[in-house]
C-alpha cells in the first residue's frame, strides 16, 4: 500500500518529536536508530527514507526542541519562567525539559551542523528574551539575557549531576533561583 505524502510528513514529524524526547532523556549516544524507530512505531529501514544520517536527525530534533522552548517562553513573565525553569520539577523532567540543558554538553562534541543548530536556537532565545527593548541599551540587555540563560542552565545542569535524592541538588536550584531573580530585581518566593 502506497503511503500518502501527508502520511510521510506526519511520520517524519513523529520521528523528530520522538527523537527529541529520547535524546533529551539519554543523550545523542544513548539512542540508536533501531530503538528510536521502534519507539516511534516505525520500521528501522524507513529511517533513511526520511534522514540521510543520524546526525541530520539530531540537528532537526535539536531545532524542534529549541523552537518548542522558544514558543514556551514567548510572552511569559521572566520571574514565572525562572521559578519554573530552575525547579526540581524541571530538573526531574529530563525527557520533557529544556533541550539546551539536556544536550548542550553532547552538542559540544558533535559535528558543526549540530553546534550551529544550537547557536541558532540560542540566538532565537536571546531575541525572544530581549523582545522590544530600547536600542541604546541593547548591548546591556543582551548581556543580561545571556547571564540569565547561562545561570539558569548552569543551575539545572549542576543539579542534574547530583544524585536525585541529594540535598545539594535542591540547594543548587534554590541558591541560583534566588540569585537570578535578585539580580533582575524580581521579588523572590521562599520556595
**Does residue 60 belong to any structural domain of this protein?**
yes
Domain that holds residue 80: 5-183
**Any domain includes 100:** yes
Evaluate if residue 78 carries a pLDDT over 90.
no
Is 189 within the bounds of a domain?
Answer: no
3 state SS for the chain = CCCCHHHHHHHHHHHHHHHHHHHHHHCHHHCCHHHHHHHCCCCHHHHHHHCCCHHHHHHHHHHHHHHHHHHHHCCCCHHHHHHHHCCHHHHHCCCCCCHHHHHHHHHCCCCHHHHHHHHHHHHHHHHHHHCCCCHHHHHHHHHHHHHHHHHHHHHHHHHHHCCCCCHHHHHHHHHHHHHHHHHCCCCCCCC
Q: How confident is the model over 21-46, as a mean pLDDT?
A: 94
Compute the mean pLDDT over every residue in the chain, rounded to the nearest whole number: 90
Whether 54 maps to a domain, the answer reads: yes
Structure confidence by residue, pLDDT tens digits, 39-77: 999 988 889 889 989 999 999 999 999 999 888 888 888
> For residue range 98-109, what is the model confidence (pLDDT) as tens digits?
999 999 999 999
pTM score of the predicted model: 0.86
Domains of the chain: total: 1
Mean pLDDT computed over 22-45: 94
Tell me if 190 is assigned to some domain. Answer: no
pLDDT band at 187 (very low <50, low <70, confident <90, very high): low
What pLDDT score was predicted for residue 159? 97
Q: What is the pLDDT of residue 45?
A: 84
Using one digit for the tens of pLDDT, what is the confidence trace for 109-153? Answer: 999 999 999 999 999 988 887 765 545 577 888 998 899 999 999
CATH classification of the domain holding 13: 1.10.357.10
Instruction: Look at residue 83 in the predicted model and tell me its pLDDT.
Output: 94
191 has a pLDDT exceeding 70: no
Position 170 pLDDT exceeds 90: yes
- Report pLDDT for 112: 94
Query: Among residues of the chain, what percentage have pLDDT more than 70?
Result: 93
Say whether pLDDT at 158 is over 80: yes
pLDDT band at 184 (very low <50, low <70, confident <90, very high): confident
Amino acid at each position: 500500500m502506497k503511503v500518502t505524502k501527508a502520511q510521510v510528513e506526519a511520520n517524519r514529524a513523529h520521528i523528530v518529536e520522538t527523537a527529541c524526547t529520547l535524546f533529551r532523556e539519554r543523550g545523542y549516544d544513548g539512542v540508536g536508530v533501531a530503538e528510536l524507530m521502534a519507539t516511534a512505531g516505525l520500521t528501522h529501514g524507513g529511517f533513511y527514507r526520511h534522514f540521510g544520517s543520524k546526525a541530520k536527525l539530531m540537528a532537526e530534533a535539536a531545532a524542534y526542541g529549541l523552537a518548542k522552548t522558544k514558543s514556551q517562553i514567548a510572552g511569559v513573565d521572566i520571574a514565572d519562567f525562572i521559578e519554573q525553569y530552575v525547579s526540581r520539577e524541571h530538573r526531574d523532567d529530563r525527557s520533557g525539559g529544556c533541550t539546551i540543558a539536556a544536550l548542550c554538553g553532547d552538542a559540544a562534541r558533535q559535528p558543526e551542523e549540530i553546534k550551529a543548530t544550537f547557536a541558532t536556537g540560542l540566538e532565537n532565545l536571546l531575541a525572544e528574551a530581549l523582545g522590544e527593548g530600547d536600542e541604546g541599551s541593547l548591548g546591556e540587555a543582551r548581556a543580561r539575557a545571556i547571564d540569565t540563560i547561562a545561570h539558569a542552565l548552569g543551575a539545572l545542569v549542576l543539579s542534574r549531576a547530583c544524585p536525585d535524592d541529594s540535598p545539594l541538588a535542591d540547594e543548587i536550584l534554590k541558591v541560583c533561583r534566588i540569585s537570578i531573580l535578585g539580580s533582575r530585581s524580581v521579588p523572590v518566593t521562599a520556595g
